[in-house]
Structure formats: C-alpha cells, structure tokens
Amino acid sequence: MTRLLAAELLKLRTTRTALGLLIALLGLVALIVIGSLATADRLELDLEQWQDDLFSVASLASLFALLFGILAITGEFRHRTATPTFLVTPERERVLVAKTLASVLTGVALGVVALALTAVVALVWLSSRGASLHLGGDFFADALWLLLGCALYAALGVAVGAIVQSQVGAIVGTLVWLLVVESLVAALSERVGRYLPGQAIDALTFQGGDVSRTRGLVVGLVYVALLGAAGIVLTRRRDVA
C-alpha cells in the first residue's frame, strides 16, 4: 500500500491538475478575504466573532477537495491510464484505496493552505489598520473540523468518480446534486436535508454547532463507506475500456 500511495502522490505531482486547483482556490480565497476586509467597518474588524466568520471562507477548500477526488479517479478513465494502472495492480480495490488516501491528504492540504492564506492576508490587513487577530480556542477547533470536511469530501469525490467514471458526468452530476437537489430538499425539509451528504459535510466546514458537526461527521462517514463500497464493487466488476 505504501508503494501504491507513493505512486498516487507521484501522479498528482506530475500533472498540472492539482497545481491548477490550488492556484484557483488561493485566488478565490484571497479575493473573498480581501473583499470582506475591505468592506467591513473598523469596529467589526476587531471582533473575534467577525474574524471567525472570515475564516469560514477557507471552507471553499472542501469543494476543491471534492473536485480533486473526482478528477483523480475519472482522469484515469478519461486518459485511459486505468489500463496501465490496473495492469500493474490488478487488485483494483487497492488502487481505489490508495487514491482515496492520496486525495484525502491533498484535500486536507488544500484546507490548510486556504486557512493559512486567510490568516496571512487578515494579519497583514488588520495590523495595517491597527487591529489585531484574535485566534481563540474556537478557531483551532473550527479549523480541525474544516479539515475533516475536506477529507470527507475528497474521499466522496473518489467514490463518486469510481461509480460514474465519466469526468464531465461526475462533475456536473455532483454539482447539480449539491447545488440543486440538496438545496431544494433542505429548503423543503431541514430534518431530511441534514442527512444528505453535502448538507451533512457542510455542517462541519461552515460554523455549525457541536451537535450538527458530530452528526455531520457520522452521516458523512456513512456516505463515504457506502459509496466507496459501491465504487469498489463496480470497479472490480467492470471491464476496463
């Protein structure tokens, strides 16, 4: 498994996909953080609650983690590298597990980078305004939950990608599911909505209460396990085109 994980990490370092996602994420986070800082009034800037909210921008990283997970597996089918990959490792489930681990690591790294960029921009901006950054105990707990959310989304991305195989299909399908279907269900019934995968995991990354976070984690893990198992069964059974 060490070998396979090393190979998966090498794969993501040797194309520009991961780098592109990282740059897009950093650009987006910087834009939103600077926008928020520039439009806030001076009194707000110094409030710990306001600053905590500012950091929720970094939860964008979870969406990128999801995208990365999808790209990591569907890229193999799109570019037909699945053939050499499965020739070297005919136990296809091991490839999927290694890919999930690599994507989880990448997702967490995206979260860390997003948080760090937010902190750096905020620190510079605030000190130039004579305000200071208050990183209370909540901040580190929030950050950890956010990273957990990134990890879950990355794993979910690999599972969905393994099931769907088509890159465009998986990305479009996932976005429609998250933005349209889940939003609709959540609007109709919040009680049902919070058991949907996106709503559950988002409870970790957007500032939710401890109850909704614990529930979100459990629900998210259940989805990862179910979809991951489906992905493994289908990948083992299907012919590699």
Partner 1 sequence: MIEVDGLSKRYGRTTAVDGLSFRVEPGTVTGFLGPNGAGKTTTLRVLLGLARPSAGSATILGRRYRELDEPARRVGAVLETSSFHPGRSGRNHLRVLATASGLPVTRVDEVLELVELTGAARRRTGGYSLGMRQRLALAAALLGDPEVLVLDEPANGLDPQGIRWLRDLLRGLGSEGRTVLVSSHVLAEMQQTVDAVVIIHQGRFVTQSSVAEVEARAAGGVRVRSPGAERLRVLLVAEGAQVSELDGRLQVAGATAERVGELAAAHGIVLHELHAESATLEEAFLQLTSAEAPS
Interface residues toward partner 1, by CB under 8 A: 3-4, 6-7, 10-11, 14-17, 75, 79-81, 83-91, 237, 239-240
Q: What minimum distance in Å lies between the beta carbon of 109 and partner 1? A: 20
Query: In this complex, which beta carbon is closest to partner 1, that of residue 17 or of residue 214?
Result: 17
CA angle 75-61-10, nearest 5°? 40
Query: In this complex, which beta carbon is closest to partner 1, that of residue 121 or of residue 232?
Result: 232
Q: What minimum distance in Å lies between the beta carbon of 236 and partner 1? A: 10
Q: What minimum distance in Å lies between the beta carbon of 4 and partner 1? A: 6
Gap between the Cα atoms of 95 and 98, Å rounded: 5
Query: In this complex, which beta carbon is closest to partner 1, that of residue 85 or of residue 212?
Result: 85
Q: What minimum distance in Å lies between the beta carbon of 159 and partner 1? A: 21
Secondary structure element (H or E) that encloses residue 182, with its range: none
Q: How many helices (H) and strands (E) does the chain have?
A: 13, 0
- Three-class SS of residue 90? coil
Query: In this complex, which beta carbon is closest to partner 1, that of residue 49 or of residue 83?
Result: 83
C-alpha R_g of the chain = 19
Relative orientation angle of helices 92-128 and 17-39, to the nearest 10 degrees: 30
Query: In this complex, which beta carbon is closest to partner 1, that of residue 226 or of residue 240?
Result: 240
> How far are the Cα atoms of 34, 121, 195, 215 from residue 221, in angstroms, in the given order?
34, 33, 12, 10
In the block, tokens 């800082």 appear at: 37
Q: What minimum distance in Å lies between the beta carbon of 105 and partner 1? A: 16
